[in-house]
C-alpha cells in the first residue's frame, strides 16, 4: 500500500507583531485577561495595501520548494485551505501556484475553517495513494485580520495571520498519512460565522455599517463543541489504528485557545510534554495553525513518531489525522 508521506514542511508569518499590550490600547482588555483565558501573548499581522492571504502562501510554498530541493514543475497539484481568500474567485491556490512557477498545475481552494488543513491533507493524500500524482503541496493560509473586528474584544484578541505548507510524496514503507477522518455539521453555523459578503447577504452599505463582514462567534458554545469533538475524533483515529496514548509521540492540535488544547489532551490521556503548542506567539491562524506547529517542532520530530493532528472549526467542521513521521 502506498501512503502519502510528509517530506517537507515550511511556514511563514508576517513581520508585524501585534502584542496583547497594543490590543489593550485598542479595546477594553488586558494582557492578563488574554493570557489567562487563551494562552495568547502576541500574533503576527499582515500589513499593507493589497496584501492578501496569497502573499503568505507564496512565501511558505517558495520556502518549501527550496528546502526540499523540488523544482516547481515537479509539482502535480496544489491545494489551499483558507477562509480568507484574496478574492471570492479565482482561488488563492491558483494565485500561489502561478506565483511559485508551478505552471498550469491543477490547484483549488478548500474551505473548512479551522479544520481546513486536516480536510486538505485528507484530500491531497488520496491523489498520492491512488498513484495519480507523485508530488502534492497542501497549504493552510489565513489572513484573519481581514475579517476580525478590532472593535470586538471577544474575537479580536484571538486571531492572527500566517501560512504553512507541506509536501506529500508516495511512500511504500507505511510512513505519512496513515489514516484520517473528517466530519461536518452545518447546524453549527449560528455559533461561528461571517454573516455578510457571501451570496446570501452580498455587501451593501447596510451590511458594512452593521459590521457584518466580520467573524462572529459564541465563544463558550464553540469552546465546548471544540473540546468534545476534537477529543472524540482523535480517539476514533487512535482506536481504529489500535494505538494507545503512550504510543502517540505528539498531539498536534488546532491552536484556538490553550484551554481547549489542554482539555482535549487531558481527555485523550496525553501529557503536556507531548502537545505541540505555539498559540502564545501566533494566536489562532485558522487553517495555518497545524502546519505552523509542524514547522516549529520539526527539529524535535523523529522518524517513525506517531502524530495525531486534530482540529475543530466553523461549520462546524472537525477532523483528525494519524501521521507516521
Ligand atoms: N478582554 C477582557 N474581557 C473580555 C474579553 C477580552 N478580550 N473578551 C470577553 N471578555 C469578558 C466578557 O465580556 C465577559 O464579561 P461579563 O462577564 O461582564 O459578561 C467575561 O470576559 C467572560 O467572558 P466569557 O465569554 O465567559 O469568557 P471565556 O472564558 O469563555 O473566554 C473565549 C472567551 C476566549 C472567547 C473562549 O470562550 C474561547 O476561546 N472560545 C472558543 C473560541 C474559538 O476558538 N473560536 C474560533 C474557533 S475555530 C474557527 O473556525 C475560527
Could you read off the pLDDT of 202-230 as tens digits, one per residue? 999 999 999 999 999 999 999 999 999 99
Q: Whose CA is nearest to atom 49 of ligand 1?
A: 313
Active site residue 293: no
How remote is the CA of residue 84 from the centroid of ligand 1, in Å? 22
Asked if 100 contacts 71 with a C-beta cutoff of 8 angstroms, the reply is: no
User: Which of 150, 173, 196 represents a domain boundary (last residue)?
Assistant: 173
How many domains does the chain divide into? Answer: 2
Please identify which of the residues 94, 257, 278, 284 carries the catalytic annotation: 284
Q: Pick from 219, 220, 223: which is nearest to 264 by CA?
A: 223
Residues with CB under 6 A from ligand 1: 29, 33-34, 37-38, 113-114, 153-154, 157, 192, 217, 219-220, 222-223, 256-257, 284, 286, 313-314
Looking at the structure, tell me whether residues 285 and 213 fall in a common domain. yes
Looking at the structure, tell me whether residues 161 and 204 fall in a common domain. no
Looking at the structure, tell me whether residues 247 and 271 fall in a common domain. yes
Looking at the structure, tell me whether residues 27 and 149 fall in a common domain. yes
Tell me which DSSP letter residue 130 carries: T
Please identify which of the residues 254, 257, 278, 293 carries the catalytic annotation: 254
Number of neighbours of residue 108 by Cβ within 10 angstroms = 16
Q: What is the CATH number of the domain that holds 302?
A: 3.40.47.10
Looking at the structure, tell me whether residues 28 and 119 fall in a common domain. yes
Looking at the structure, tell me whether residues 48 and 115 fall in a common domain. yes
Q: Peptide bond before 76: cis, by omega within 30 degrees of 0?
A: no
The residue behind cell 494566536 is 283
Number of neighbours of residue 47 by Cβ within 10 angstroms = 12
C-alpha cell at 25: 490600547
Using DSSP's 3-state secondary structure scheme, residue 172 falls into: coil
Domain assignment of residue 72, given as a range: 3-173
The residue behind cell 491562524 is 285
Looking at the structure, tell me whether residues 142 and 230 fall in a common domain. no
Looking at the structure, tell me whether residues 124 and 191 fall in a common domain. no
How remote is the CA of residue 258 from the centroid of ligand 1, in Å? 13
Q: Whose CA is nearest to atom 42 of ligand 1?
A: 219
Please identify which of the residues 44, 80, 100, 114 carries the catalytic annotation: 114
User: Which of 148, 173, 198 represents a domain boundary (last residue)?
Assistant: 173
Number of neighbours of residue 15 by Cβ within 10 angstroms = 8
Looking at the structure, tell me whether residues 189 and 150 fall in a common domain. no
Instruction: Note down pLDDT in tens along the chain; length 325 residues.
Output: 999 999 999 999 999 999 999 999 999 999 999 999 999 999 999 999 999 999 999 999 999 999 999 999 999 999 999 999 999 999 999 999 999 999 999 999 999 999 999 999 999 999 999 999 999 999 999 999 999 999 999 999 999 999 999 999 999 999 999 999 999 999 999 999 999 999 999 999 999 999 999 999 999 999 999 999 999 999 999 999 999 999 999 999 999 999 999 999 999 999 999 999 999 999 999 999 999 999 999 999 999 999 999 999 999 999 999 999 9
Alpha-carbon distances, residue 220 vs 43, 184, 253, 260 (angstroms)? 22, 19, 19, 11
Looking at the structure, tell me whether residues 163 and 143 fall in a common domain. yes
- What number of CA atoms fall less than 13 Å from residue 284's CA on the CB side? 30
Of 35, 154, 158, 317, the one to substitute when testing ligand 1's pocket (max ligand atoms within 8 A of C-beta) is: 154
pLDDT on residue 97: 98
Could you read off the pLDDT of 106-164 as tens digits, one per residue? 999 999 999 999 999 999 999 999 999 999 999 999 999 999 999 999 999 999 999 99
How remote is the CA of residue 216 from the centroid of ligand 1, in Å? 11
Helix axes 116-129, 289-297, angle to 10 degrees: 70
ipTM for this model: 0.93
Active site residue 254: yes
How remote is the CA of residue 27 from the centroid of ligand 1, in Å? 14
Using DSSP's 3-state secondary structure scheme, residue 269 falls into: coil
Alpha-carbon gap, residue 12 to 296, rounded angstroms: 11
How remote is the CA of residue 219 from the centroid of ligand 1, in Å? 5
Amino acid at each position: 500500500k502506498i501512503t502519502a508521506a510528509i517530506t517537507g514542511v515550511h511556514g511563514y508569518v508576517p513581520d508585524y507583531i501585534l502584542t496583547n499590550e497594543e490590543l489593550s490600547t485598542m479595546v477594553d482588555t488586558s494582557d492578563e485577561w488574554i493570557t489567562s483565558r487563551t494562552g495568547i501573548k502576541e500574533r503576527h499581522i499582515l500589513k499593507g495595501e493589497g496584501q492578501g492571504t496569497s502573499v503568505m502562501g507564496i512565501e511558505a510554498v517558495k520556502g518549501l520548494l527550496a528546502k526540499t530541493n523540488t523544482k516547481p514543475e515537479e509539482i502535480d497539484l496544489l491545494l489551499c485551505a483558507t477562509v480568507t481568500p484574496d478574492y471570492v474567485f479565482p482561488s488563492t491556490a491558483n494565485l500561489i501556484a502561478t506565483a511559485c512557477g508551478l505552471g498550469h498545475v491543477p490547484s483549488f481552494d478548500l474551505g473548512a475553517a479551522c479544520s481546513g488543513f486536516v480536510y486538505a491533507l485528507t484530500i491531497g493524500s488520496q491523489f498520492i495513494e491512488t498513484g495519480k500524482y507523485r508530488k502534492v503541496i497542501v497549504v493552510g493560509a489565513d489572513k484573519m485580520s481581514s475579517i476580525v473586528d478590532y472593535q470586538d474584544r471577544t474575537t479580536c484578541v484571538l486571531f492572527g495571520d500566517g501560512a504553512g505548507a507541506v509536501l506529500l510524496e508516495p511512500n511504500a514503507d507505511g510512513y505519512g498519512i496513515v489514516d484520517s477522518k473528517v466530519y461536518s455539521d452545518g447546524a453549527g453555523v449560528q455559533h461561528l460565522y461571517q454573516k455578510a459578503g457571501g451570496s446570501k447577504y452580498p455587501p451593501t452599505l447596510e451590511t458594512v455599517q452593521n459590521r457584518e463582514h466580520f467573524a462572529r462567534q459564541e465563544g463558550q458554545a464553540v469552546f465546548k463543541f471544540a473540546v468534545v469533538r476534537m477529543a472524540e475524533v482523535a480517539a476514533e483515529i487512535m482506536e481504529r489504528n489500535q494505538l494507545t496514548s503512550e504510543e502517540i509521540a505528539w498531539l498536534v492540535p488546532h491552536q484556538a485557545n490553550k484551554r481547549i488544547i489542554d482539555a482535549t489532551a487531558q481527555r485523550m490521556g496525553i501529557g503536556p510534554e507531548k502537545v505541540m503548542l505555539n498559540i502564545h506567539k501566533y494566536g489562532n491562524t485558522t487553517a495555518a495553525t497545524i502546519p505552523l506547529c509542524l514547522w516549529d517542532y520539526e527539529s524535535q520530530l523523529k522518524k517513525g513518531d506517531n502524530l495525531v493532528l486534530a482540529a475543530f472549526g466553523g461549520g462546524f467542521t472537525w477532523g483528525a489525522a494519524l501521521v507516521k513521521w
